Structure 1
Amino acid sequence: MTRPLARLLYLLAGLVGRLPWSWLMRLGDAIGAAWLRLNARESRVALCNLELAYPDMLPAQREQWRGAILRTTGRQMMETLRLWTRPHALNLQMLREQHGVELFDAAIAAGRGVIVAAPHHGNWELLNQWLASRTPLAILYRPPESAIGEAFLNLVRADARQADGSDRVTQIRAEGPAVRQLFKLLGGGGVAGILPDQQPKAGDGEFAPFFGVQALTMTLLGRLAARTGATVLFAWCERIDTHRDGPGFALHIEAAQPDVANPDPVVAVAALNAAVERIARRDPAQYQWTYKRYTLRPPGSGEENPYWNR
C-alpha cells in the first residue's frame, strides 16, 4: 500500500500546486493560523525555541513572532508543493535577485570540490533547483520516518528527472556509507549540498552555542572540508516580496569563514553555528523554528530535553 498511497499524495500535491498563487498564500496563512489556534506541535515547538533563543524578549513580542513564524511556515509548505510539481525553469523565474553567483562559479572552476551549506532559511527547495540548473550535485538528506513519505519524495525526484531529461541531483542518505561517497565526490571536484543545522545522532557531532544555547552540531561538514580542501559556501533563497503572481526570492551565496574547516571539530562547529545564526537573524520568521534543534543536551549538564511536554 505504500506506493499507491504515495502516488495519491503526489497527485493531490500536484492539484494543490496548480492553484493560483493568491489561493496558495491564503491557504498557507490558514494553516499557520490553525496551528496557532489549536496549539499544534509546530506552535508549541516554535514557542519553546523562541524562549530558548530570545530569553529577554517580552512575551507579547514573542507571541507576535510565533504568529509570523507559523504563517511563513504555512506559506513555505504551499510554495514547496508548487515547486515540486511545476517545471524547474518556471520555478526559477521566482528569483528576482542573485548575489554571489560569481563565488559559486569560481569555486567550481577551481576544481577542488564545493560544499554548499544550506541552512533552513527561506525556501531551500528553490535553492536546490537553482543549484541543479548550474551543475550536477549530491544532496545529503535525512530520510523521513514514514515509508510513505520516502516513497512520495522518490516520486518527486523521478518526475523531476523526467521533466528536464537529466539526473543532475544525487540524493545521499545521511548514513554511514554517505561519508565515503561524499569524500569521493569532493575529491573529484564535485559539488555537495548539506543542511548544516540538522541535529545529528548522539556521537556524530559536537556541542556549540546556537543563539546562546548549546546545540549538538554535525562535524561531518568540517571534516569533509578539512580533509578534501573543498570550498565551503553558504547559500539560501530568502523571500523578499509576495504578489498575486507569486512570491519573489533573492538568492544569496557567501564564502564561509576559514574556521568552518578547522581540524579541531569544536572550533569548526562553533564557526558553523555562528554563520547559520547570522543568516537566521536576517529575518527570524523565515527560519525553521518549528524544528526541535535542542533535543539532545550536553552530557553531564543535568539539562532535560526542553521539548518534553511540548
Structure 2
Amino acid sequence: MKGPRGAGDRATTAAYLLGWALIRYVPERPGRWVFTRIADHAWRNRLGGVRQLEANLRRLLGPDASQAELRALSRAGMRSYMRYWYESFRLPAMGRERILDRTRSTGIEVLEAHVAAGRGVVAALPHMGNWDHAGAWITLRGTPLTTVAERLRPESLFERFVAFRESLGMEVLPLTGGAGHTAGVLARRLRAGGLVCLLADRDLTSQGVEVAFFGEPARMPAGPAALALATGAALMPVSLWFDGPYWGIRVHEEIEPPPRGDRSARVHAMTRELARVFEGEIAEHPEDWHMLQRVFTADEAGTAPGAGAG
C-alpha cells in the first residue's frame, strides 16, 4: 500500500493513527457498523482499488458471470477487506483468550512440529482474511515469527506499521531500504529453525515467476521457494478466511522441491505449485481475497479486456 504525497500523506497517516488510537475504545458493534459503511461507500463509488479488485475477481468468476454477480462479490470483498482493517486496529484490545478461542485451524501442528524439531518453515500466504491476526495467533501459541513489510510512504506510517506488528510479537524486516540484507536475515532465521511468514501472491520485485492463475499468466514472488530451497526449510502454503465470528486458518502440506533440475527450475516449479494451492483456496473463499492491486500480466501490460475502463 502506498499513499499519495504531500497533504495526502498527512491525511493517510492521520487516518491510520486515529484508527489505532480510537478503535480499540469504541464499542464493537458501532465500530463494525462504521467500517461496513466505509466499505459500502468505497464499493458504491468504485473508489481506491475497487476497480482492480473487480478486474481480479472477474478472472475468478469467469467470462460467463454477469456484471451483477461480479458487483455482489466485490461488495462482499470490500466488506471483508474493511473487516480486516477494523480487526487489525482492534487486535491489541481483543485479548489473548479471544484470539485463541475464536480461531479454527487445521494443519498447524505439523508446522509447529517442524519448528520444535529445529527445522525452519516458510509460511507462504495470499492476501486473504487477516494476516495480522494470524501472526498474533501463532505467536500466542508460542511460535515467534519473522516477516517482511513493504515500505510505505510516508516513512512515519511505515514505522507505525512496523511498531504495531512488533507489538503483536512479530519481527518485521523492510522489503527495501533496511540497514541489513533482508534475504540474508531471513535465511539465518530459517537455518536456526525459525518461522518466516511471507505474503506470496503478488510480485513486488519485477523478478517473480510467471505462473498460471485462474487461466491467465500472473507473476508471483520467487522468494518463498528460493528461501526454502536454500535453507532446507519447509515451504508450507497457508490460507486464511473469515467464518462468521471466527477466523479460519489452514496450513497446507509442504511443497517439496523437485528431485531434479537446476535451482531456477526447482524454484519455478515450487512457485507454480504454490499458485495452484492459492487458486483453490481463493476460489473457496473469494470474498476474502483482498487483492486490490494488479497481479495478472495482462493488467500490468494494460492489455486486459477493459483494462483501464471506467
CA distance in 1, matches of 2:232, 2:75: 42
| Cα deviation, residue 105, structure 1 | 1.9
Name the residue aligned to 2:78. Answer: 70
Name the residue aligned to 1:274. Answer: 276
Matches within 5 A, 1:104-143: 104-133=111-140, 134-143=142-151
Q: 2:191 aligns with which of 187, 202, 218?
A: 187
> Do the aligned partners of 1:142 and 1:173 also contact (CA within 8 Å) in 2?
yes
Percent of residue pairs identical: 21
- 1:46 is aligned to 2:53: yes
Q: 1:201 aligns with which of 178, 200, 205?
A: 205
Name the residue aligned to 1:251. Answer: 249
CA RMSD across the alignment: 3.1
| Cα deviation, residue 88, structure 1 | 4.9
One-letter code aligned to 2:215: G
Name the residue aligned to 2:3. Answer: none
> Do the aligned partners of 2:121 and 2:234 also contact (CA within 8 Å) in 1?
yes
Cα distance change, pair 101–88 in 1 and its aligned pair in 2 (3 A)? same
Cα distance change, pair 297–72 in 1 and its aligned pair in 2 (3 A)? closer
Which deviates the most, 123-132 or 36-45?
36-45
Structure 1, unmatched stretches of 5+, are: 162-167, 242-246
Cα distance change, pair 8–249 in 1 and its aligned pair in 2 (3 A)? closer
> Do the aligned partners of 1:260 and 1:269 also contact (CA within 8 Å) in 2?
no
Secondary structure at 1:170 match in 2: strand
| Cα deviation, residue 30, structure 1 | 0.6
CA distance in 2, matches of 1:302, 1:72: 27
Q: 1:286 aligns with which of 277, 285, 288?
A: 288
CA distance in 2, matches of 1:221, 1:227: 10
CA distance in 1, matches of 2:15, 2:63: 43
One-letter code aligned to 1:119: P
CA distance in 2, matches of 1:148, 1:308: 32
CA distance in 2, matches of 1:297, 1:61: 21
Name the residue aligned to 1:169. Answer: 170
One-letter code aligned to 1:275: V
CA distance in 1, matches of 2:64, 2:119: 44
One-letter code aligned to 1:174: L
> Do the aligned partners of 1:113 and 1:186 also contact (CA within 8 Å) in 2?
yes
> Do the aligned partners of 1:136 and 1:191 also contact (CA within 8 Å) in 2?
yes
CA distance in 2, matches of 1:303, 1:275: 26
Cα distance change, pair 132–296 in 1 and its aligned pair in 2 (3 A)? farther
Q: 2:227 aligns with which of 215, 224, 227?
A: 224
| Cα deviation, residue 304, structure 1 | 6.5
Name the residue aligned to 1:15. Answer: 22
| Cα deviation, residue 302, structure 1 | 8.9
> Do the aligned partners of 1:115 and 1:225 also contact (CA within 8 Å) in 2?
yes
Cα distance change, pair 60–213 in 1 and its aligned pair in 2 (3 A)? same
One-letter code aligned to 2:295: R
One-letter code aligned to 1:205: G
| Cα deviation, residue 82, structure 1 | 0.7
One-letter code aligned to 1:293: V
> Do the aligned partners of 1:69 and 1:289 also contact (CA within 8 Å) in 2?
no
Structure 2, unmatched stretches of 5+, are: 1-5
Secondary structure at 1:258 match in 2: coil
One-letter code aligned to 1:186: L
Name the residue aligned to 1:145. Answer: 153
CA distance in 1, matches of 2:15, 2:39: 24
> Do the aligned partners of 1:6 and 1:151 also contact (CA within 8 Å) in 2?
no
> Do the aligned partners of 1:234 and 1:254 also contact (CA within 8 Å) in 2?
yes
1:252-275 Cα offsets, whole Å, 9 max, x none, are: 222233258984133222111111
Cα distance change, pair 157–120 in 1 and its aligned pair in 2 (3 A)? closer
| Cα deviation, residue 42, structure 1 | 2.5
Q: 2:87 aligns with which of 75, 79, 94?
A: 79
One-letter code aligned to 1:197: D
1:164-208 Cα offsets, whole Å, 9 max, x none, are: xxxx42111123811111111111211111111122221x21211
CA distance in 1, matches of 2:81, 2:13: 23
| Cα deviation, residue 11, structure 1 | 4.8
> Do the aligned partners of 2:237 and 2:274 also contact (CA within 8 Å) in 1?
no
